[in-house]
């Protein structure tokens, strides 16, 4: 600091009050402080970023202005737009990702909807003439009377139902029919049989749990040619329509029998059930409907027990057995004898 001791006319000015010398700041001390160097520029190994250049880029492009305005939201917005579009597409088309089998229940897929076929599906495979027909679980249990042989023609049960299910892929129409000569009085008459069919297919655990499928029951008065006919049929007519190479009472789906796609439900099984269902006739009838209608709507293959002790797939031939070792004896091309045995199950989606 520099001191100024100037005094005019020998007089003492204000800066000399009390006879002492008062320090006076020169002009250069009144100027603002300035750094003599740029520490960032001089720091060893560091390059100073060009912030002005980034600012000019943001101002000059619409992307830059968008990012400057919305920050992190600018990056999140495109992702949200894509996710929203995917959800809307799945909602409209019904193509959402399939649920796991553990959540929905054991059912195979996908079905072959609309694929023309003349193959009989559901009967024991042909060619196994040496098969032991005394398979303990495949025999017909003791029980009530049934009609061994009908007329080979069917009567349509009057009545219809509204559509059940969404039917995003296919709305199936069907009739319920009873073979002429078959007496249904012991189990509710023709109407009782038809009601069991309609209520089973309308159950949320049945095929309509899948939004691809819907069903509408029609009758002869509607004039509608059905996609298939659910027909209660005598054992001898079933043997003619389905085959009898393996001498066990079976049911089947024949897409061309007498020129009609027909689900043939064996009356002997309808009355007496099957050994694997342990006397539960109601559950067996539900299984019989769901299994054979499953063939009619496109599930052509049979399945085997996937996990020991779990519910059997509805497309397993549970009429004969729920054991893979047994099933491999009459369907070796599909089932592996691996020792697994399932519990009987009448539903495509039993957890629904």
Helix-, strand-, coil-residue percentages of the chain, each rounded to 5: 35, 10, 55
User: Can you tell me the mean pLDDT for 130-148?
Assistant: 83
Q: Give yes or no for residue 333 having a pLDDT over 70.
A: yes
Largest interatomic CA distance in the chain = 151
The mean-pLDDT minimum among 8-22, 248-262, 281-295 falls in 8-22
d(CA 131, CA 245): 9
Query: Angle at the Cα of 286 (from 177 to 348), degrees rounded to 5?
Result: 115
pLDDT of the residue at 113: 59
Burial-class residue 37 by CB neighbours within 10 Å (0-12, 13-18, 19+): exposed
Cα of first residue to Cα of last residue in the chain, in angstroms, is 93
| pLDDT tens-place string over residues 85-131 | 544 544 444 333 333 333 344 455 545 655 555 566 655 555 444 55
Q: Residue 305 in contact with residue 324, Cβ under 8 Å?
A: yes
**The residue count for the chain:** 352
d(CA 50, CA 41): 12
Tell me which H or E stretch contains 199: helix 189-202
User: Can you tell me the mean pLDDT for 169-195?
Assistant: 97
Structure token pair of residue 258: 């007498």
Q: Could you say which DSSP state residue 332 is in?
A: T
Tell me which H or E stretch contains 178: strand 170-179
3-state SS assignment for residue 179: strand
Q: Give yes or no for residue 244 having a pLDDT over 60.
A: yes
d(CA 110, CA 278): 31
Average pLDDT, the chain: 78
Closest CA relative to residue 232, chosen from 268, 179, 196, 287: 179
Q: Give yes or no for residue 201 having a pLDDT over 50.
A: yes
Q: Could you say which DSSP state residue 216 is in?
A: E
pLDDT of the residue at 128: 46
Q: Could you say which DSSP state residue 125 is in?
A: P
Burial-class residue 187 by CB neighbours within 10 Å (0-12, 13-18, 19+): middle
Distances in Å between the Cα of 46 and the Cα atoms of 42, 43, 49, 275 are 8, 6, 9, 85
pLDDT of the residue at 38: 47
d(CA 343, CA 311): 5
Q: Residue 111 in contact with residue 299, Cβ under 8 Å?
A: yes
């Amino acid at each position: 600091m520099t001191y100024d001791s100037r005094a005019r006319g020998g007089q003492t000015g204000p800066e000399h009050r009390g006879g002492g010398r008062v320090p006076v700041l020169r002009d250069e001390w009144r100027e603002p402080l300035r750094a003599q160097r740029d520490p960032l520029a001089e720091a060893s190994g560091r390059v100073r970023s060009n912030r002005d250049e980034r600012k000019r880029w943001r101002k000059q492009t619409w992307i830059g202005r968008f990012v400057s305005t919305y920050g992190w939201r600018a990056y999140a917005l495109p992702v949200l737009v894509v996710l929203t579009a995917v959800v809307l597409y799945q909602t409209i088309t019904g193509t959402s990702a399939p649920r796991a089998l553990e959540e929905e229940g054991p059912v195979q897929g996908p079905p072959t909807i609309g694929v023309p076929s003349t193959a009989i599906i559901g009967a024991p495979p042909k060619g196994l003439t040496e098969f032991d027909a005394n398979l303990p679980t495949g025999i017909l249990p003791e029980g009530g009377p049934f009609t061994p042989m009908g007329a080979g023609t069917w009567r349509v049960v009057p009545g219809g139902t509204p559509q059940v299910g969404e039917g995003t892929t296919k709305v199936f129409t069907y009739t319920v029919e009873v073979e002429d000569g078959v007496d249904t009085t012991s189990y509710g008459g023709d109407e009782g049989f038809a009601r069991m069919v309609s209520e089973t297919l309308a159950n949320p655990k049945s095929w309509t749990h899948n939004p691809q499928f819907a069903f509408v029951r029609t009758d002869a008065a509607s004039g509608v040619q059905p996609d298939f006919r659910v027909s209660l049929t005598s054992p001898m007519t079933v043997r003619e329509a389905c085959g009898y190479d393996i001498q066990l009472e079976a049911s089947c789906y024949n897409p061309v029998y007498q020129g009609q796609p027909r689900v043939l439900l064996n009356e002997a099984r309808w009355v007496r059930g099957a050994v694997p269902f342990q006397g539960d006739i109601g559950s067996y009838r539900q299984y019989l409907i769901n299994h054979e209608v499953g063939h009619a709507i496109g599930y052509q293959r049979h399945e085997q027990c996937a996990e020991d002790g779990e519910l059997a797939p509805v497309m397993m031939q549970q009429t004969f057995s729920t054991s893979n070792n047994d099933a491999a004896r009459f369907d070796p091309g599909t089932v592996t004898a691996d020792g697994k045995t399932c519990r009987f199950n009448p539903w495509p989606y039993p957890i629904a």
